[in-house]
Amino acid sequence: MAKPKVATASLAGCFGCHMSVLDIDDRILKLVELVEFNKSPINDIKKFTDRCAVGLIEGGCCNEENVRVLQDFRKNCDVLISVGECAIMGGIPAMRNTIPLKECLDEAYLNGPTVYNPAKKIPADKEIPLLLNRVYACHEVVKMDYHLPGCPPPADTIWEALVALLTGKPLKLSYELIKYD
């Protein structure tokens, strides 16, 4: 019987949630017995090769490329999970939501204290994804099925969620796996 496929992506985030996936330690060997990773930085597969049972998304959407990636995951994954605060609420990248985009770009490329830009130009190459007016949480862009809170969520939380979903059990995380006090 074919193993269920899992895909992962990091949008506007720091890869900390992917580090939590790797922090499941020796259980990663059990995970590899349970699943096959499809599109993921974990195995460096860049495009979907098949339908996936579960998609894990870390990071919010700050540019058009993030939106396209997230929409592609929604089309190709049966269950889509926001992993971490950046995916759920925008996280640290969303701090720019309180400042007009033009002001952010001016500070980053023209007027910042360490900026050296004698041409006084803001990069506008067609290869650079267009920034959105603000950072959006994943559920503001597509339907998300589950949210795993934390910055990053503990490895045990990710492990329990994946095992439950991949073995057809209800996803019921204990208070200990989702508390932060």
Rounded to an integer, the average pLDDT of 23-37 is 88
Look at residues 5, 135, 123, 19 and name the one whose alpha carbon lies nearest to residue 66.
135
Residue 180's pLDDT is 75
Fold classification of 5-95+131-177 is: Rossmann fold (3.40.50)
* Average pLDDT of span 14-30: 90
Q: pLDDT value at position 181?
A: 67
Percent of the chain scoring above 70 in pLDDT: 99
Confidence of residue 63 (pLDDT cuts 50, 70, 90): very high
What per-residue string of b and e applies to 116-147 under the rule 16 or more CB within 10 Å gives b? eeeeeeeeeeeeeeeebebbbbbbebbebbbb
Strand-pairing partners, residue 61, are: 136
3-state secondary structure of 36: strand
pLDDT at res. 167: 87
Q: How confident is the model at residue 171 (pLDDT cuts 50, 70, 90)?
A: confident
Average pLDDT, the chain: 93
pLDDT at 1 over 80: no
Per-residue pLDDT at 81: 97
Query: What average pLDDT score do residues 54-78 get?
Result: 97
Give the per-residue pLDDT at 2.
Answer: 86
Q: Where are the domains of the chain?
A: 5-95+131-177
Containing H/E element for 70?
A: helix 64-76
Quick one: pLDDT at residue 43?
A: 85
Average pLDDT of the segment spanning 27-42: 88
- Taking residues 58-83, report their average pLDDT: 97
92-121 tens-digit pLDDT: 999 999 999 999 999 999 999 999 999 999
How big is the chain by its Cα radius of gyration, in Å?
Answer: 18
Dihedral of CA atoms 94, 95, 101, 104 in degrees, nearest 10, equals -130
Percentage of the residues of the chain whose pLDDT score is greater than 90: 76
69 token code pair: 């990636």
